[in-house]
A = this chain, B = another copy of it.
Amino acid sequence: MRPFSSRSELFDGVLARGAAGGATGDEAWLAALLRTEAALARAQAAVGLMPAGVAATIEDACAQLKPDVATLSADAAASGNPVVPLVAALRRAVPPDVAESVHKAATSQDIMDTAAMLVTRDALAAILADARGAAAAAAALARTYRDSPMPARTLLRQAVPTTFGLKAAGWMLALDEAGSRVAAVRATRLAVQFGGPAGTLGGLDGHGLAVLARLARELGLAEPVLPWHTDRTRIADIASALGGLAGVCAKVGRDITLLAQDEVAEVAEGSPGGSSSMVHKRNPVAAVSAIAAAMRAPGLVASLLAAMAHEHERAAGAWHAEWLPLRDLLVTTGSAAAWLQIGLAELTVDAAMMQSHVDDLADRLGATVDTGESAALVDRALAIHEAAL
């Protein structure tokens, strides 16, 4: 019997919602790798290291090359990364006298890390769009239910009154704050990688720094002070920002599932999920899926942080160890945000039920329903939210 393929997409409908999956898949990676090689040639031509025509030939080859992923992946095993066979393919695709100008003075990690940043930039854009959509949905809830009292619950016990508006404003603000950190990392920490085998910009006739600057401009990435082959603070920053956003998605998802319990019934999802065995079930599938996706994040962040101890000028394992956790973290955080956006946008709120619960609570406390300064808090949170748009 032929062996099964290792392709794994069966769970993606549930666990890889949103555009981050596509932004980090093989096609996106290959496009980013080739785009980097092309930009490198262009940058080197710009500073006089090769004729413009040679760079154009390389750029054409990068645009035309359609490498077979399976072959590339298999060939990568020999050297430890896919850039080695990709460069070989590119060199075969250009005239012999151009071949040596392909990947000139670069090391595999220059291309891989730069491509990772391009891929991450697109994935973060997708994630941010969904996170902002979720925040906007929460903002709408905060506005609509600004004055709708409900019981605050602490340690899962009813405490004293709050409003659903304030709860939703809290969701919104947490999404905004976590999202703004993701946006800041995207804007400032995604840098081009270029240093050559030893990170010294050797073999470039003293034009290395110029190439570095030009390459950054070509690709719209930040220019690093030094090559960062074994300084992985950028990866840590990306990972951490995603971990924070995932944590917020888990929090909001958890709240939704708790409010959607039959016994609480203060909210319901607009498109609840069915069951293979129980026709009556109305499962909060969006929130559940958001939680599931978000729960993968802390372990992935830990993997990326634990992989920061890159040896010398190129790690003996820790660099390769980043590739899949980074992808997985982008995809799963994106899925959490995408599901949450749906869950919040379609949320059905039963303000009467909330009112009834809070009235019962007030009766038990022998007090009137006092929601303190919740309205003013909602207003100031919404003002901050709107100012940031």
Contacts and interface: CB of A to CB of B under 8 A. Distances in A.
Contacts of A204: 372-373
Contact of A310 (B152, B197, B251, B323): B251
A344 B292 CA distance: 28
A178 B319 CA distance: 19
Interface in A78-96: 78-84, 87
Interface in A190-249: 196-204, 206, 208-209, 225-227, 230-233, 236-237, 239-241, 243-244, 246-248
Given A302-B299, A303-B295, A160 B202 contact: yes
Nearest to A30: B10
Contacts of A27: 4-5, 7
B380 A225 contact: yes
A10 B22 contact: no
Contacts of A299: 298-303, 306, 325
Contacts of A103: 276-277
Give the copy number: 4
A26 B14 contact: no
Nearest to A283: B155
A348 interface: no
Contacts of A187: none
Which size class do A's interface residues fall under?
A: 35 or more
Interface string A88-112: 0000000000000001011110010
Contact of A376 (B153, B209, B274, B302): B209
A374 B209 CA distance: 10
Contact of A156 (B13, B87, B260, B380): B260
A389 interface: no
A257 to B, nearest CB: 4
Nearest to A25: B6
Nearest to A203: B372
A26 B10 contact: yes
B377 A276 contact: no
Given A280-B365, A313-B154, A233 B9 contact: no
A294 to B, nearest CB: 8
Contacts of A251: 230-232, 308-310
Most buried by B among A4, A79, A202, A241: A4
Contacts of A260: 156-157
Interface in A33-75: 69-70, 72-75
Given A170-B226, A247-B233, A277 B108 contact: yes
B197 A278 contact: yes
Contact of A275 (B73, B105, B197): B197
B162 A313 contact: yes
A351 interface: no
Interface in A246-304: 246-248, 250-251, 253-255, 257-258, 260-264, 271, 273-278, 280-285, 287-303
Interface string A351-389: 000000100000011000011111011001100100000
A-B residue pairs, 10 tightest by C-beta: A247-B308, A291-B317, A202-B372, A240-B240, A6-B21, A154-B314, A200-B372, A152-B198, A299-B303, A292-B320
28 contacts: A4-B27, A5-B22, A6-B16, A9-B73, A10-B73, A11-B323, A83-B276, A84-B274, A84-B275, A107-B277, A154-B283, A155-B257, A156-B260, A161-B202, A167-B313, A197-B277, A204-B373, A230-B251, A232-B251, A240-B244, A250-B309, A251-B310, A254-B311, A263-B264, A291-B321, A296-B325, A299-B302, A301-B302
